[in-house]
Amino acid sequence: MNIEQFVFLQESGNVSIPGILLNYYSRLGITEEELMVLIQVKKFKENGNHFPTPTELSEYMSITTSTCTSVLRSLLQRGFLHIEELEQNAILYEMYSLKPLWEKLYSFLMQDEKKTKNLEEEQ
Amino acid sequence: MNIEQFVFLQESGNVSIPGILLNYYSRLGITEEELMVLIQVKKFKENGNHFPTPTELSEYMSITTSTCTSVLRSLLQRGFLHIEELEQNAILYEMYSLKPLWEKLYSFLMQDEKKTKNLEEEQ
Amino acid sequence: MNIEQFVFLQESGNVSIPGILLNYYSRLGITEEELMVLIQVKKFKENGNHFPTPTELSEYMSITTSTCTSVLRSLLQRGFLHIEELEQNAILYEMYSLKPLWEKLYSFLMQDEKKTKNLEEEQ
Amino acid sequence: MNIEQFVFLQESGNVSIPGILLNYYSRLGITEEELMVLIQVKKFKENGNHFPTPTELSEYMSITTSTCTSVLRSLLQRGFLHIEELEQNAILYEMYSLKPLWEKLYSFLMQDEKKTKNLEEEQ
C-alpha cells in the first residue's frame, strides 16, 4: 500500500454505529438487510450526499436496485426513515433523515425502562 | 431520559465501521446478514467478550441461533473469520479474530488498484 | 504498506469521541491537554487496560509523566474521572471510570436547555 | 432528557480518531492543543463546514481566537494541514484538507518499520 492509498483509506473514514442501535434494532423489528441500508444512507450523508438513489446504495450492497427500492419504501412507511425537504436558492432539495429511527429507539428505551421497573416492583 | 440512562448510553459506546469495509464487503462476497454477524462479533470483542456464542450473538439479531451458527461456520470456512487460541495461567482460551477479514480486504484493494492501472494503460 | 501493517492498522481501531463532548468540554472547564488525557484513558480502556499508569499514558503524549500525574489528580479531584474498585478472585483491581464525565455533561446539557428556554420565554 | 434532546444527541454524532494517530501524534511533534485543533477541523468538515474560521473553532475550545489563528498558521507551515481551492459555479472555495497529516503519519510508520527491522537485524 503506497502513500496515496493510505491517505485514501484515512479520508474514507469510519461510520460510527451507536452500541444501543446494534443492541436494539432487532427488537424494533429491523432486519440485518434493512439496518445495512440505513447504515449505507448514514455513510452517504456523512460524505455529503443526503439523498442517495437506490442504484447508488445497491452498488455497495449485495442486494439489487429493486430490492433496495422496496427496503427504502418499507423503512419510510414503517417510520424508520423520513424524507425532508429543503429549499435553497429557490431549488427544492430532498434529503433522508434518520431522526425517526432515533425517535423510535428513544421510545423503545423509555418503554423498556418502564417494563424493567414494573418487573422489579412485582418481585 | 435521566442521568443513569445517559451515562449508560455513553458507556455503551460506538462501533466504528471503516468506510472501505462498507464500500467493498459485497464485492468480497459477504452478504448484509454476514456483515452484521461480523459487526456484532466486533462489538462483543470491544466490550471484552472475545468469543461470544451463537446464542449471545443472535440475542441482538433478527436471526435464530441455528442460523447464526451456520453463518459463523461459513465465515470461518471461507476465511473471513478465524479462531485464535490463547493460553493464560494454564487455561486455553479461544477468541475470534477479524484479521482474515482485513487481509482479504487488503488483497482486494491491491488487486483493484492493479486492475485500474491496467485499464488506464490500455486506454 | 504491506499486509501485516494494514491488518495492524485496522486492529488498532478508532476511538469515537461524541460530538457533544467536543462541543462542550471547554464550557465544562476542561482544557485541551486534559481532554487528551481523558481520550488516552478511553483508548487504553477500549484496548483492555482499565488502569493505565501516568508513564504509560505520557508515552503517547507530548507531556511528561509528572505533568500527566498532576492532570490525572486534578481530573479526579474536580470530578471528571473516578477510580472504581473491582474484586475478582480475591484480588482487588482498580480501574478508571469516565462515568463522572458523562454525568457532568448531562447536567450541563440539562442546565443549558433550561437557560435556552428561559431566554426564549423572556423574548 | 426528552426525545428532542436524544435525537439531537444522536444527530451530533461522533468523530472517529484513528488509534494510530492517538499513538503517534506526539512523535510527529504535534502537541495536545494542536491535535485538538485538527480534531475540531475534522468535526466541522464532517458536519459540512470545510473551512471553519478561527473564531468558529475557538468557540468550542479553551483557547482564544488569536491563539487558534497562530496554531492553524503553524500547522499549515509545518505541513500538517493544507488549504485546498475548489472552483464551483465560478466561485472559488477554500477548504482545509487533513491529507498532509495522513501523509506524515504514513512516512513515520514506514520509517519506524525500517528502524525496527534494522534493530532486529543488529541483535
List chain A residues with CB under 8 Å of D6: 102-103, 105-106
B91 touches chain D (CB under 8 A): no
pLDDT in tens, chain B (123 residues): 889 989 999 998 999 999 999 999 999 999 999 999 999 999 999 988 999 999 999 999 999 999 999 999 999 999 999 999 999 889 999 999 999 999 999 999 888 776 666 655 655
List chain C residues with CB under 8 Å of D15: 16-17, 19, 22
CATH number at residue D33: 1.10.10.10
Q: What are phi and psi of D52, to 5 degrees?
A: -65, 140
- Rounded to 5°, angle at Cα A47 from A45 and A53: 55
**pLDDT, tens only, A101-116:** 999 999 998 887 666 6
C1 located within any domain: no
Domain count within chain B: 1
Residue with cell 494503460: B121
Under the banding of pLDDT at 50, 70 and 90, the label for residue C50 is very high
What is the predicted pLDDT for the residue at A119? 56
Are the CB atoms for A60 and B26 separated by under 8 Å? yes
Radius of gyration of chain B measured on its C-alpha atoms: 18
Where are the alpha helices (H) located in B17-98, listed in sequence order?
Answer: 19-24, 32-46, 54-58, 65-77
**pLDDT, tens only, C51-108:** 999 999 999 999 999 999 999 999 999 999 999 999 988 999 999 999 999 999 999 9
C7/B99 Cβ within 8 A: yes
Helix (H) or strand (E) run with residue B85 in it:
strand B82-88
List chain B residues with CB under 8 Å of D5: 1
Minimum distance, in Å, between the CA of residue B13 and any CA atom of chain D? 10
| Parent domain of B116 | 3-122
Nearest-Cα residue of chain C relative to residue D113: C5
A120 vs A113, B8, B56, C7, C120, CA distance in Å? 11, 19, 24, 46, 40
List chain B residues with CB under 8 Å of D9: 9
Are the CB atoms for A52 and A44 separated by under 8 Å? yes
Residues 49-88 of D with CB under 8 A from C: 60-63
What is the predicted pLDDT for the residue at B88? 86
A2/C5 Cβ within 8 A: no
The 3-state DSSP class for residue A70 equals helix
What is the predicted pLDDT for the residue at D103? 96
The 3-state DSSP class for residue D17 equals strand
Global ipTM: 0.89
What's the CA gap between B37 and B54, in Å, rounded? 10
List chain D residues with CB under 8 Å of B14: 14
E strands present in A67-122: 82-88, 91-97
Neighbours of B51 (CB within 10 A): 15
C3 touches chain B (CB under 8 A): yes
B48/C10 Cβ within 8 A: no
What is the predicted pLDDT for the residue at D89? 87
What's the CA gap between D58 and D74, in Å, rounded? 16
Give the up-direction half-sphere exposure of residue A68: CA atoms within 13 A in the CB hemisphere.
Answer: 21
List chain A residues with CB under 8 Å of C9: 9
**Residue pairs between chains A and C whose CB atoms are closer than 8 Å:** 10
B18/C99 Cβ within 8 A: no
A14 vs A11, B68, B115, D14, CA distance in Å? 9, 26, 25, 10
E strands present in chain A: 14-18, 82-88, 91-97
**pLDDT, tens only, A78-88:** 999 999 999 98
What letter would DSSP give residue A78? T
B48/C46 Cβ within 8 A: no
What's the CA gap between A40 and A46, in Å, rounded? 10
